[in-house]
Chain A
């Protein structure tokens, strides 16, 4: 009796250890299991949405600024059309706002600069783990969307960008709750200077309660959509499509 029980214990322990070590990769390769993990993970989106409401991300002071704000993702845009715009100081550039809107817009940089501005010093959190604090200035995205007038079916704001990664156009998306949050701005100014190319000139998104991969750079066009399905990989962004990052980037 004791021997068999002892035997069973040893077998069980060895089995559990082996199963865990070799089994995790097998589970990780199983689409069903990963969907399950992602499903449990989606609870974070629901829970965080309920908790955060319209709370504001912390705003810091000039004394808190990172000495060097790390640039990440695309640091240079190869597209010749973009390079010509950059060379001309983006005088010939205009932000296209279209999709499910009453009035499609083409907004030159001067128009964005003439709108009421918001300046905020916030912490940027990369999914990799690092953080940097920077000062951002630009018009609220909500004001631009209001100017275009959303159709009732509009649910997502998609940012189409000038850069390509791995040969694929970069894009990102947020929903209307984050889009109309007062700290969500299209920044054309960073640390009191016009946005440089590594940081996303002429404008980048600041959506302050989300991780860095949501902060789209080199924005050329904003498209209002009812669904993210059918757009590139259908997951709502380059990183979501190609790396498997979650669309909800609040964690």
Chain B
């Protein structure tokens, strides 16, 4: 049965039932992102190794006040296991970063257009009035803190914290990463001065780019933790095949 069309058949789905969880487009985009974002993060850290200081405003170099100093100028901020390539090469890291930037932007645009046109994103990520209430959000936070995840039919839809996380990545983090990345290009700054103004200067755009990347890393870590807690085999299978087994209640017979 498909989530998009709602539960069908004689009875509502219950714990233990296999349901269609993820659309093909979502699954393709997910795995494309998994690879692309990892490559862009690791090559991005290598690029940051070239000048591991961050500033606010239009300019900023060794003699200016940095808000974040990741390493002294002659030191490497990020070790080889974190970077692409392993050994220092700003030129090669830029090749990787800029080539995969196309993949990120094209896949993101395609998914966004498909998801909005089909109403898929609205159906899955729309936060209802009830869900916006502080009480509801607080309740979900407490349930998550107790590691009590939804079961049965309640697990058919994303909970409000998931909607915040996925919506935040889709509508905030990835767009901010793309825009701040483009704003660092001197050629595009000539054509689109408003883009760099959006961030308050090129060095601010560079800082925002880093902050958004770190936020994405944080999302990834929480995402991994939640997959492990929710049952990694069922979760990974659902993202590969689309089929998801609704979790049973603790008391429910298998």
Q: Is the CB of A131 within 8 A of B102?
A: no
Contact of B202 among A9, A21, A123 (CB under 8 A): A123
Is A168 engaged at the interface, CB distance under 8 Å to the other chain?
no
Q: Flag A1-23 by CB within 8 Å of B: 1 or 0 each.
A: 00001100100010000001100
Which of B2-10, B161-169, B181-189, B213-221 binds A? B181-189
Q: Is the CB of A52 within 8 A of B191?
A: yes
Is B147 engaged at the interface, CB distance under 8 Å to the other chain?
no
Which of B19-27, B55-63, B126-134, B138-146 binds A? B55-63
Q: Is the CB of B42 within 8 A of A55?
A: no
Q: Is the CB of B187 within 8 A of A245?
A: no
Bound together, the chains give a CA A24 to CA B89 distance in angstroms of 13
Q: Which of B72-109 contact A (CB under 8 A)?
A: 81, 84-86, 89-92, 94-96, 98-99, 102
Q: Is the CB of B191 within 8 A of A208?
A: no
Q: Is the CB of A250 within 8 A of B186?
A: yes
Asked if A130 meets B51 with Cβ closer than 8 Å, knowing A5-B237, A52-B190, the reply is: yes
Q: Is the CB of A9 within 8 A of B233?
A: yes
- Indicate the size class of the contact surface on chain B: 35 or more
Q: Is the CB of A52 within 8 A of B51?
A: no
Q: Is the CB of B96 within 8 A of A37?
A: yes
Q: Is the CB of B188 within 8 A of A60?
A: no
Q: Is the CB of A244 within 8 A of B92?
A: yes
Q: Which of B187-238 contact A (CB under 8 A)?
A: 187-193, 196, 202-203, 206, 233, 236-237
Bound together, the chains give a CA A127 to CA B92 distance in angstroms of 12
- CB contacts (< 8 Å) of B48 on chain A: these are 129
Is A48 engaged at the interface, CB distance under 8 Å to the other chain?
yes
Is B39 engaged at the interface, CB distance under 8 Å to the other chain?
yes
Q: Is the CB of B96 within 8 A of A131?
A: no
Contact of B59 among A132, A208, A249, A251 (CB under 8 A): A132
Q: Is the CB of B63 within 8 A of A68?
A: yes
Bound together, the chains give a CA A97 to CA B240 distance in angstroms of 62
Bound together, the chains give a CA A28 to CA B203 distance in angstroms of 29
Asked if A131 meets B61 with Cβ closer than 8 Å, knowing A55-B190, A125-B186, A250-B186, the reply is: yes
Contact of B95 among A13, A37, A48, A67 (CB under 8 A): A37
- CB contacts (< 8 Å) of B203 on chain A: these are 130-131
Bound together, the chains give a CA A132 to CA B55 distance in angstroms of 12
Is A25 engaged at the interface, CB distance under 8 Å to the other chain?
yes
- CB contacts (< 8 Å) of A244 on chain B: these are 89, 91-92, 95
Q: Is the CB of B64 within 8 A of A67?
A: yes
Q: Is the CB of A123 within 8 A of B99?
A: no
- CB contacts (< 8 Å) of A210 on chain B: these are 186-187
> 16 new A-B pairs (CB below 8 Å) besides A28-B92, A53-B191?
A41-B94, A43-B102, A48-B188, A51-B191, A51-B192, A66-B61, A126-B51, A127-B50, A128-B51, A130-B203, A131-B60, A131-B202, A210-B186, A211-B186, A244-B89, A249-B186
Interface residues of B (CB under 8 A from A): 35, 38-39, 42, 47-48, 50-51, 53, 55, 58-64, 81, 84-86, 89-92, 94-96, 98-99, 102, 184-193, 196, 202-203, 206, 233, 236-237, 240
Interface residues of A (CB under 8 A from B): 5-6, 9, 13, 20-21, 24-25, 28, 34, 36-38, 40-41, 43-44, 48, 51-53, 55-58, 60, 64, 66-68, 70, 123, 125-133, 208-211, 243-246, 249-251
